[in-house]
């Protein structure tokens, strides 16, 4: 059969031919390109030479087609995963893991890398080439190149098992999320909910064959406003418990997957000479060591805890005053926080939705990118899509009209898409067969959907999420390096969140909101009074918010720093670790860990702290922008030149100092959060 994965894409800019790719194409195509790559690698291994071009560039070209197919598959697996794709995913993952190990554990290939690395200063290499040979050598060593044959074999087994376990973990969370539905038959029980949410729930009920009732899923656009506004405490509890017990003691239980992942990660780290998985991971991070991470987290904890305790007492007193509740529970937190915010700030997040029509917010973010970096986004309709919700844009540089890259957006939840929000490099910027090519970048979110009577009206949190993911997209789109392994977001994990998190700051500024925040029906601009309240809300309940993030970070570090044999009971371990940060009573039958996909199915193991780490960077960097105006082109040019364009070509602290003129100041985060 004809296989589009084995043909050169005829689409504009060589875009993925999503419109003609079918699940049955993947395994045959992968087998074909792997067989071809293995033959080429056999020739490569016997070819004499240890120069950079042969060792690095030639090998990259050999494996490019495998990377291409893997990229398409895993993008679809996250954003549009049909049952057919899900069925073949374990085999795809197994084949790709084995192929990667065949390269990283091959002594002949490593011998070439080692020789090139040891002679790197004699080859007249530039800084980027030196960085990539050093990174390549270290990658081989960290993947077991210096091990004995028996240890290499065990590494293969571990890596293949970890790939399967991570996939199982992720699929269990998705299935548990998709399977749940809370049906409400009496509209009186929906008291307090925004009309838009009630309408969306009615439409979901109709879609599920339950017309006349209201249905609520565990998708963020439903669960977040429900827990924030529903007066019915029992229903809040029901929905909260369903979300907090995903993949826990049910048919999709992830507890054994979690334990197996921890054991294998620890064993792998020990084989490579590290005490723990955290030690292994942090060797390649700005933080460098578990101690430095823990010192950083403890410093934030000491500042946030007193504020959080005062905030908690306020919520408890409010719950007692309004509803006679003696013990406030986690599922009460958002509800009473919203009431308190209305009291103290005269502000309700729902007041903002009419000003945040999705199309306007997207147009606004393009204007921000234009003001800062001179970018122009032009929607196009000749680029293949994998779903009708996807929009595609060509990105150009103002004045020169140079092509910057392709940009895809995919904003609404569906059963085939995993939860959350992410940016993905469909095609990284860099060299392909001796030619530098521009990137194809995608952002995927799960935002409030349009209803029959209303367009997609975003919450403030959703607007912040869009700006966050767009920051990642800019990191990918504006990359300007030679080698794609160092391009865009291919940087230290605790640096990758800087370009994304700094973008959120613009949302709280009048100059930015004036670009897009106007009422979807009347065209009225958002008022200065509302803007002031938005800004004030950024510090509201920040103590509790910080403690919540620290809970995840401490839990992540604990899991990856202990002997995994001590993790015999997941909820007990979780409760012990979380005790210091959790002011709410522990609810039996719940577990954060079994759906903690960031660390058990994503790339954040021993790295969740990086969100707070990057907040220090972004708060400090945004203070620099504020010093001369948030759209100051001179500072934006510096940020582009030293952060967005450079990727992983230099150590991130050196890049940051070249942009900022100093190391980041933790005080900037504390000042912004009101925790100093």
Residues annotated as part of the active site? 469
Least Cα distance to 408 among 324, 472, 502, 482 occurs for 472
The three state secondary structure string of 79-133 is HCCCHHHHHHHHHHHHHHHHHHHHHHCCHHHHHHHHHHHHCHHHCCCCHHHHHHH
Question: In angstroms, rounded to a whole number, what is the distance separating the alpha carbons of residues 210 and 414?
Answer: 18
Burial class (CB in 10 A: 0-12, 13-18, 19+), 383: buried
Least Cα distance to 364 among 634, 622, 631, 673 occurs for 631
For 185, the 3-state DSSP assignment is: coil
Question: In angstroms, rounded to a whole number, what is the distance separating the alpha carbons of residues 362 and 463?
Answer: 9
**β-sheet bridge partners, residue 409:** 391, 443
One DSSP character per residue, 225-267 reads HHHHH---HHHHHHHHHHHHTTTSSSTT--HHHHHHHHHHHHH
236 contacts 230 by C-beta, under 8 angstroms: yes
One DSSP character per residue, 408-474 reads EEE-S--TTS-SS-EEEEEE-SEEETTEEE--EEEEE--PPPP-SS---B--HHHHHHHHHHHHHHH
285: left (phi over 0), alpha (psi -120 to 50) or beta: beta
Question: In angstroms, rounded to a whole number, what is the distance separating the alpha carbons of residues 293 and 554?
Answer: 10
For 379, the 3-state DSSP assignment is: strand
- Residue carrying structure tokens 């979380």: 578
Kind and range of the H or E element at 621? helix 610-628
For 306, the 3-state DSSP assignment is: helix
Least Cα distance to 418 among 95, 25, 161, 86 occurs for 86
Question: In angstroms, rounded to a whole number, what is the distance separating the alpha carbons of residues 414 and 417?
Answer: 5
* Residues in Cβ contact with 320 at an 8 Å cutoff, skipping those fewer than 6 apart: 326
Question: In angstroms, rounded to a whole number, what is the distance separating the alpha carbons of residues 77 and 243?
Answer: 22
Of the CA atoms within 13 Å of residue 383, those in its CB half-sphere come to: 21
Query: Residue 669's CB: how many other CB atoms inside 10 A?
Result: 23
Strand 403-410 to strand 440-444: parallel, antiparallel, or no bridges (unpaired)? parallel
């Amino acid at each position: 059969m004809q296989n589009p994965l084995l043909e050169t894409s005829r689409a504009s800019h060589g875009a993925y031919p999503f419109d003609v790719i079918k699940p049955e194409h993947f395994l045959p195509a992968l087998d074909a390109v792997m067989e071809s790559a293995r033959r080429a690698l056999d020739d490569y291994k016997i070819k004499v030479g240890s120069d950079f071009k042969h060792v690095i560039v030639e090998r990259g070209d050999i494996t490019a087609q495998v990377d291409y197919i893997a990229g398409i598959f895993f993008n679809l697996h996250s954003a549009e995963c049909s049952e057919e794709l899900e069925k073949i995913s374990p085999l795809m993952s197994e084949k790709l893991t084995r192929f990667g190990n065949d390269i990283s554990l091959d002594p002949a290939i490593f011998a070439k890398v080692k020789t090139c690395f040891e002679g790197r200063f004699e080859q007249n290499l530039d800084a980027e080439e030196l960085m990539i040979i050093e990174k390549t050598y270290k990658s081989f060593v960290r993947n077991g190149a210096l091990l004995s044959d028996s240890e290499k074999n065990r590494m293969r087994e571990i890596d293949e098992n970890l790939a399967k376990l991570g996939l199982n973990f992720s699929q269990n969370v998705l299935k548990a999320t998709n399977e749940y539905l809370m049906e409400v038959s009496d509209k009186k029980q929906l008291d307090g909910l925004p009309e838009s949410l009630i309408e969306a729930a009615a439409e979901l009920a109709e879609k599920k064959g339950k017309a006349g009732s209201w249905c609520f899923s565990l998708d963020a656009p439903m669960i977040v406003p429900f827990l924030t506004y529903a007066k019915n405490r029992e229903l809040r509890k029901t929905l909260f418990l369903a979300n907090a017990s995903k993949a826990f003691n049910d048919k999709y239980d992830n507890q054994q997957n979690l334990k197996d992942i921890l054991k294998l990660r620890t064993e792998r780290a020990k084989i490579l000479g590290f005490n723990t998985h955290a030690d292994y991971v942090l060797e390649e991070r700005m933080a460098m060591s578990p101690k430095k991470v823990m010192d950083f987290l403890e410093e934030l904890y000491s500042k946030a805890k007193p504020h959080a305790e005062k905030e908690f007492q306020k919520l408890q007193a409010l719950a007692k005053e309004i509803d006679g509740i003696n013990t406030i529970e986690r599922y009460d937190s958002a509800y009473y926080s919203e009431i308190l915010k209305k009291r103290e700030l005269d502000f309700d997040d729902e007041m903002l939705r009419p000003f945040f029509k999705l199309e306007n917010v997207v147009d606004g973010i393009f204007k921000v990118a234009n003001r800062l970096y001179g970018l122009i986004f032009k929607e196009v309709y000749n680029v293949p899509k994998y779903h009708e919700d996807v929009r595609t844009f060509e990105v150009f540089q103002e004045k020169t009209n140079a092509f910057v890259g392709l940009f895809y957006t995919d904003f609404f939840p569906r059963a085939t898409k995993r939860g959350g929000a992410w940016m993905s490099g469909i095609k990284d910027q860099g060299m392909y067969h001796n030619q530098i090519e521009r990137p194809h970048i995608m952002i995927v979110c799960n935002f409030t959907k349009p209803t029959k009577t209303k367009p997609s009206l975003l919450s403030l949190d959703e607007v912040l999420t869009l700006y966050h993911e767009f920051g990642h997209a800019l990191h990918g789109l504006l990359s300007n390096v030679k080698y794609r392994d160092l391009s865009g977001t291919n940087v230290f994990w605790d640096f990758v969140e800087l370009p994304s998190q700094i973008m959120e700051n613009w949302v709280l500024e009048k100059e930015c909101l004036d670009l897009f925040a106007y009422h979807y029906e009347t065209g009225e601009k958002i008022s200065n009074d509302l803007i002031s309240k938005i800004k004030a809300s950024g510090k509201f309940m920040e103590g509790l918010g910080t403690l919540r993030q620290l809970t995840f970070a401490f839990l992540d570090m604990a899991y990856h720093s202990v002997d995994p044999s001590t993790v015999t009971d997941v909820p007990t371990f979780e409760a012990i670790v979380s005790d210091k940060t959790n002011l709410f009573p522990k609810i039996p039958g719940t577990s954060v860990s079994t759906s903690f996909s960031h660390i058990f199915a994503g790339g954040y193991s021993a790295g969740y702290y990086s969100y707070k780490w990057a907040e220090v960077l972004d708060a400090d960097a945004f203070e620099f922008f504020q010093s001369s105006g948030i759209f100051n082109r001179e500072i934006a040019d510096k940020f582009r030149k030293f952060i967005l364009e450079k990727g992983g070509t230099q150590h991130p602290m050196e890049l940051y100092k070249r942009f900022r003129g100093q190391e980041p100041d933790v005080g900037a985060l504390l000042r912004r959060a009101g925790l100093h």
